[in-house]
Amino acid sequence: MAQLFSLFILLFLNHLGRVVCLNDEGQALLSFKQSVTEDPNGALKNWNSSDDNPCMWNGVTCKYYRVTSLVIPMEGIKGFIPSALGSLSQLRRVNLRSNKLFGSVPSELFEAQSLQSLVLSENSLSGSLPLEIGKLKNIHTLDLSQNYFNGSLPQSLIQCSKLRRLILSGNKFTGPLPEGFGTGLVLMEKLDLSYNDFSGVIPVEMGNLSSLEGTLDLSHNGFSGSIPASLGNLPESVYIDLSYNSLTGPIPQNGPLANRGPTAFIGNPGLCGPPLRNPCSADVPFPHFPKTIPSETSNGDGGKGKGLRKSYVIAIVVCNVVGICIIALLLSCCYYRICGVKRGKNGTVADVELKRRKDCMCFRNDDDSGPLSETEEQRDLVLLDTEVRFDLDELLKASAFVLGKNGTGIMYKVVLEDGFTLAVRRLGEGGYQRFKEFQTEVEAIGKIRHPHIVTLKAYYWSVDEKLLIYDYIPFGSLAAALHAGKSGLASAITLSWTDRLKIMKGTAKGLTFLHEFSPKKYVHGDLKPSNILLGHNLEPKISGFGLGRLANISVGYMTAQSIRMPSEKPQHRRLGSALSEAIEAHPTTKSVSCYQAPESFKAVKASQKWDVYSFGVVFLELITGRSALAKAGNSDMDLVHWVLSCIEEKRPLGHVLDPYLAHEMIDEARIMECIKLSMACVHSSPEKRPTMRNVSDTLTRLVPA
């Protein structure tokens, strides 16, 4: 009887084990949870051994019940990476950035040979990079930045021939780069090795990286030797940062190395030649004079005399007189063109006076503090943020990268010599008659301070240039984050459903502030994904408000055809030269925007309900993943009408939702609430649209803090 009872118990336990037994892949992931000592946000809370598979766990994505993705960034998780993760044979993507992981990366992790993206940045990982890294034949993204990795890069890294993004900045890597670095990794698009202890020469074959984009950052290392001229073979748009190394010799003047500011080369005392002020010895030939000068002799016997020939003396005197005249003429031109004269109403010169202005560099009076008249030109940088410390010379000498252009000007990324980064928008030329109007408008905008609005730091006004200087927001625009990967461009950001709701919640708060709490109760008037920038934690920052008004003032009485626009190919250069170079003018045309409310094309005065409509279109874009001008068969249809057609045809929710969100477990009721809210914002009647305060309150309820 006892034996039968024991057999029954064994059968029962065996049956129970079959019911609740977690599969092998779940066990491998569970080892990660067991290695975690802190999980402040409960990111791994629903990782339970009672499940039969891990496919419903937070941060885990599966295909055919095989784990393909582990994505848990910015959750404050503290622990180490277990070797068991390498047993996930179909694992393609790991993103554990911005946590508190420590210890070394186990070599067994690289047994997951399907791995395509490994992002472990901003942790406390250490140790050397295992030789087994070479097994990752399919990896295209390796981001280990902001950790404590050390040792040299293994030669096996060259075997990762599909690698496109290698970001190792902010570690303690040492030694030279592996042999064949430039020939084995020819698909590389982004390379950042800055802030390490790499040494040796820069490989000549690095010039073969023809797919590079953005910045090739080798700064703050110990690279020595000369700069290989082969780097000039890289694409023109690539900015090469070689600052703070031990490089020597002349700076090659070809390709992307030419016409750069000094910022890219500072911190290398042994470098010489332009753009540095340290000339190479060959650039300044030492003048050679004969020990004696032959003089004119009376007997013509070719003997040596004791003085200069009379013809030499006359030539020297004439040259001196001509030189003095030229200098006087130049000073006169400087006075009349820069300092100017004051004319009477009849157009004749009434009073000639030295104007005490900062722009009159010929006759500057340092004690001048008087106000400018309406017709005088200001040539000074006005700081609107007391915490900012830089002057105009620093700004104009900095290296600049053209980020983009639109109807309101050109936007540059500007890096000062101390590494401080700004965003500078160049407006049009002319319009000096309206300085006071510009000053009033820009200083009102400069008073806006809100966590979801880009801060205007300073501005500069002159007849030739009008500059607006902002905080630089590092992760680009919402448009790039949402659509870059779908258009074939590289994007380092993947927006989850939670990220998208937080972005819209922050944007709603920023617009509510502009509408109700700003000094002039602004209307943005041009809200779209490219005007919503993303900060370090994907917090949204609204940019571009007030630009239309400022651009109109800046252009003054000029015609649209005289506005200078940038060249098609963005590139780094010194900001001063970038602003002064002559660029072919292009006529501007106004295209109908799918983000603008229908009534905005008829009404004269802007309405806050215009912004509500634009917000609704952006919200639909985040929900559907489609552009504002969506494809409907072989024709184009604006996104609002496309969603309306889906509603009328009673299409399933999955048809409307962005396919990139299909793997996430999203509450369908919440999606429907978001669609209803966005459709209310794009109502054809402005009176029936909610206010931004109502929208913000609704999103606060849907997206708790």
> For residue 381, what are its two tokens?
């940088």
Residues 643 and 533 in one domain: yes
pLDDT band with cut points at 50, 70 and 90 for residue 379: low
- Residue 165 or 321, more confident: 165
Residues 465 and 608 in one domain: no
Catalytic residue among 39, 526, 611, 658: 526
What's the 3-state SS for 221-264? CEEEECCCHHHHHCCCCCEEECCCCEEEEECCCCHHHCCCCHHH
Indicate whether 487 pLDDT > 60: no
| pLDDT value, residue 80 | 93
What's the 3-state SS for 288-309? CCCCCCCCCCCCCCCCCCCCCC
> For residue 4, what are its two tokens?
């039968």
Residue 238 lies in a domain: yes
Residues 463 and 481 in one domain: no
Domain final residue, candidates 472, 499, 525: 472
Q: What's the predicted TM-score (pTM) here?
A: 0.47
Residues 171 and 266 in one domain: yes
Residue 34 lies in a domain: no
Residue 427 domain boundaries: 378-472
What's the 3-state SS for 483-495? HCHHHCCCCCCCC
Give Cα 618 distance to the centre of its chain.
Answer: 21
- Cα distance between residue 193 and residue 601, in whole Å: 50
Q: Give the mean pLDDT of 661-676.
A: 86
Eight-state DSSP code of residue 327: H
CATH number at residue 607: 1.10.510.10
Q: Give the mean pLDDT of 279-297.
A: 44
The answer to whether residues 99 and 75 touch, using CB atoms and an 8 Å cutoff, is yes
Residues 207 and 187 in one domain: yes
Q: Give the mean pLDDT of 493-504.
A: 88
Largest CA distance in the chain: 148
Least confident of 293-302, 375-384, 434-443: 293-302
Q: Is the dihedral of CA 678, 679, 685, 688 positive or negative?
A: negative
- Cα distance between residue 617 and residue 681, in whole Å: 8
Q: Give the mean pLDDT of 430-458.
A: 80
> For residue 189, what are its two tokens?
């698009």
Distances (CA, A) of 17 to 11, 12, 14, 57, 255: 10, 9, 5, 20, 67
Residue 31 lies in a domain: no
The answer to whether residues 25 and 89 touch, using CB atoms and an 8 Å cutoff, is no
| Average model confidence (pLDDT) across the chain | 76
Residues 526 and 658 in one domain: yes
| pLDDT value, residue 526 | 87
Indicate whether 148 pLDDT > 80: yes
pLDDT band with cut points at 50, 70 and 90 for residue 248: very high
- Cα distance between residue 555 and residue 565, in whole Å: 13
Residues 526 and 434 in one domain: no
Indicate whether 157 pLDDT > 60: yes
Residue 403 lies in a domain: yes
Domain final residue, candidates 472, 500, 530: 472
Strands annotated E in 408-455: 409-415, 421-426
- Residue 637 or 341, more confident: 637
Distances (CA, A) of 293 to 286, 308, 312, 386, 653: 19, 7, 11, 63, 96
Residues 515 and 536 in one domain: yes
Residue 39 lies in a domain: no
| Secondary-structure percent of the chain, ordered helix, strand, coil, rounded to 5 | 35, 20, 45
Indicate whether 663 pLDDT > 70: yes
Indicate whether 588 pLDDT > 80: no
Residues 111 and 252 in one domain: yes
Domain final residue, candidates 255, 272, 289: 272
Indicate whether 569 pLDDT > 90: no
Residue 265 lies in a domain: yes
Least confident of 11-15, 90-94, 126-130, 246-250: 11-15
| pLDDT value, residue 325 | 61
The answer to whether residues 691 and 615 touch, using CB atoms and an 8 Å cutoff, is no
CATH number at residue 98: 3.80.10.10
Residues 229 and 83 in one domain: yes
Identify whether 526 is a catalytic site residue.
yes
Residues whose CB falls within 8 Å of the CB of residue 389, separated by 6 or more in sequence, listed in order:
none
Q: Render the burial of 137-161: b for 16+ CB within 10 Å, e for the rest.
A: eebbbbbbbbbebbebbbebbbbbe
CATH number at residue 413: 3.30.200.20
Residues 133 and 199 in one domain: yes
Residues 523 and 414 in one domain: no
- Cα distance between residue 149 and residue 142, in whole Å: 13
pLDDT tens for each residue of 460-483: 887 667 888 998 888 888 988 887
Query: How many structural domains are present in the chain?
Result: 3
